[in-house]
Amino acid sequence: MTQIRANGIELEYDEAGPRDGAPFLMISGFGTQMTGWPDEFRKTLVEAGLRVIRFDNRDVGLSRKWDGIIPDMRAVTDAMRAGRKPDIPYTLDDMAADAAGLLDALGIDAAHVCGASMGGMIAQLVALNHLHKARSLISIFSTTGDRSLPPSSPEAQAALVTRPASPDRATVIAHTLKGRRAYASTRWPFDEARLAALIGANYDRSYYPEGASRQWAAILAAAPRTERLKSLNLPALVLHGSADTLIRPDAGRHTAQCIPGADYHEIDGWGHDMPLEAIPLVAGLVLPFVETVEMKRRPASA
């Protein structure tokens, strides 16, 4: 285990790649441990010379937990509709401060900040709240949180929030596999054996569904970032899949439209997942973008 104190809490993290490589921070999605990022994707980034940092968000994996605090989701929703501050233990802004604090704790002045799904929401807030810590923003199948955007399909929404019938390992793996099928890519076969192994390994590392309820409350309580993103002065890459039923591609398009000068790429048949076949396509967009940003950062005489 490698823990570090950042933003006043303990975060589990690791890093790979050359210490003098361009820092690349990976922020995981809802209820997802840092080990949820495919090793093949991280290896591709490392082989390109990036210093890749990933970490467990608060309340997941091996990072700090808020044990026993169970938010009332109906009360959170009612408070938001009434324009009141909801009673929740932390916000997405706090989670963005964790990410920025991790960079500070590691002595990194600024990084390419990459987040997927909820991680993309957090990455946007790192860019908005801690602009000096971001060399660029990479938002992957995420959203601005604008209330006018199309909702998830009923099947995808149920897959996200429905608990398994039992917490035993086999039941959790089967339940999670069934859920992931609801928002999987349509372009490539569903690799059940690979996913079952990954889900099982993450279960063994840390099965902690309670934390997901607090992360979900933070998502529900987050204000839309639509107007704030319109004034963001930062290189941005937005990636989405045409087959994403959890966060619809409209959300990716909207994110890119809000950020001045953002690059947007929509991958045909890609869902809300990272199958092995998608990794070369995603890395093939991320790496040239990062290199372009790095080139512009270098002194003209270099």
Segment 76-121, tens digit of pLDDT: 999 988 989 999 999 999 999 999 999 999 999 999 999 999 999 9
Instruction: For residue 196, count other CB atoms closer than 10 A to its CB.
Output: 15
Give the number of C-alpha atoms closer than 13 A to the C-alpha of residue 205, restricted to the C-beta side.
Answer: 18
| Three-state secondary structure call for residue 43 | helix
Please indicate, yes or no, if residue 62 is contained in any of the structural domains. Answer: yes
Q: What is the pLDDT of residue 299?
A: 78
Q: Which residue has the tokens 């690349």?
A: 24
Please indicate, yes or no, if residue 169 is contained in any of the structural domains. Answer: no
Please indicate, yes or no, if residue 206 is contained in any of the structural domains. Answer: no
The domain that holds 10 is classified in CATH as 3.40.50.1820
Decide if pLDDT at 35 tops 90.
yes
pLDDT tens across 235-287, in order?
Answer: 999 999 999 999 999 999 999 999 999 999 999 999 999 999 999 999 999 99
CA distance 59 to 33: 10
Nearest-10 crossing angle of helices 209-221, 118-129: 50
Please indicate, yes or no, if residue 184 is contained in any of the structural domains. Answer: no
Question: Left, alpha or beta for 141 (phi > 0: left; psi -120 to 50: alpha)?
Answer: left
Please indicate, yes or no, if residue 103 is contained in any of the structural domains. Answer: yes
Q: What is the pLDDT of residue 252?
A: 98
Please indicate, yes or no, if residue 183 is contained in any of the structural domains. Answer: no
The per-residue pLDDT of the chain, averaged, comes to: 96
Please indicate, yes or no, if residue 235 is contained in any of the structural domains. Answer: yes
pLDDT tens across 127-169, in order?
Answer: 999 999 999 999 999 999 999 999 999 999 999 889 999 999 9
Question: And the tokens for 20?
Answer: 């003098």
Q: Which residue has the tokens 């997901």?
A: 212
Q: What is the pLDDT of residue 300?
A: 59
pLDDT tens across 36-79, in order?
Answer: 999 999 999 999 999 999 999 999 999 999 999 999 999 999 99
CA angle in degrees (0–180, nearest 5) for 185-174-200: 90
DSSP structural state of residue 184? -
pTM: 0.97
Instruction: For residue 42, count other CB atoms closer than 10 A to its CB.
Output: 21
CA distance 144 to 160: 19
Strand-pairing partners, residue 112, are 24, 136
Q: Domain total for the chain?
A: 1
How far does CA 53 lie from the centroid of its chain?
Answer: 13
Decide if pLDDT at 212 tops 50.
yes
Please indicate, yes or no, if residue 207 is contained in any of the structural domains. Answer: no
Decide if pLDDT at 302 tops 60.
no
Structural domain span for residue 136: 3-152+212-297
Alpha helices in the chain, H assignment, sequence order = 39-47, 73-81, 92-105, 118-129, 154-161, 169-181, 192-205, 209-221, 226-229, 249-258, 279-297
